[in-house]
């Protein structure tokens, strides 16, 4: 899934704000892995991140789409948002 630059930037901002990441360079680009590389991203943080994305982009993440593939990288999450957001 390719994502637009603006969506990618918005998703990066949401991740940084929701997880309280002080060094934004840790979320460098679309290839930045989420699970396993960001200690702040635990199961509770994933739920908070999902709620922040739903609120910002105006759609609900279906339970069946709540997968590791969607949350694998910053880019995969931004691509998912691009496919589901309300314009």
pLDDT in tens, 20-41: 999 999 998 999 999 888 999 9
How confident is the model at residue 2, as a pLDDT? 57
- CATH match of 5-84 with 3.40.50.150: no
Residues 21 and 53: their CA atoms lie apart, in Å, by: 16
Kindly report the pTM of this predicted structure. Answer: 0.88
- DSSP secondary structure letter of residue 36: T
Q: How far apart are CA 17 and CA 11, in angstroms?
A: 10
């Amino acid at each position: 899934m390719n994502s637009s630059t603006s969506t990618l930037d918005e998703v990066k901002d949401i991740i940084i704000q929701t997880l309280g990441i002080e060094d934004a360079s840790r979320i460098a680009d679309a290839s930045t892995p989420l699970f396993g590389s960001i200690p702040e991203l635990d199961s509770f943080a994933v739920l908070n991140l999902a709620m922040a994305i739903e609120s910002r982009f105006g759609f609900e993440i279906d339970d069946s789409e709540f997968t590791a593939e969607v949350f694998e990288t910053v880019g995969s999450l931004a691509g998912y948002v691009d496919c589901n957001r309300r314009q």
